[in-house]
Amino acid sequence: MVAEAFDAGGLYEVDLTAGEVRARGTRSVVVSAEALEALVAAAVRAGDLGPLRVVGMDLGEQVRRSLGSDPGALPVETVVSHATGALAAFGWGSARFERWGEAMVVAVDNAPSLDASGLACAAVLGGMLSALHGRDVACVPVGEGRHLVVDPIVAETVFDWHRRGRSLGDIVEAMEET
């Protein structure tokens, strides 16, 4: 039987003698947001957010293990509970999923401020959702801590619309028209 709500109990194991931290059995390294910010700045300058997607994919795999079953076979509320719980437990902020017509938006409050554009958090979210969904998706920052879940083919176009000042509602409407 799968638990309905995310349970962070026993998530972390700390072995001071060995100098290891494990999260659900996976070796982890605890770093400050400031240290991560320097790594993110280098990735953004290089134009390669792939490593942050890998962080998200690992987080998605952590969620899959906590679910104990294929996410597609579970109630969406269960998957959302585990995904938002894992984001919070790993320090990525407090997330909620919103429906905007046919579009899915992930709203994140209190995310670490790693880059002005919000691309770092978007890359992590996209990786996590790709791992959970079983196919490649992208998350695009569209303002106010919100990230629109899209096919990677249109991600750059959506981000350009946002940078040009289009509102989330306008972007969703434009996507539904295409």
Q: State whether the Cα torsion 131-72-168-164 is positive or negative.
A: positive
Please write the tens of the pLDDT for every residue from 18-64: 999 998 888 988 889 899 888 888 888 888 999 999 999 999 998 99
Domain 12-177 in this protein, CATH class: alpha beta
The Cβ of residue 119 has, within 10 Å, a number of other Cβ atoms equal to 21
Note whether 125 and 139 are within 8 A (CB).
yes
Please write the tens of the pLDDT for every residue from 54-108: 999 999 998 998 898 899 999 989 999 999 999 999 999 999 999 999 999 999 9
Mean pLDDT along residues 136-157: 96
Ranges of each domain in the chain: 12-177
Note whether 145 and 108 are within 8 A (CB).
yes
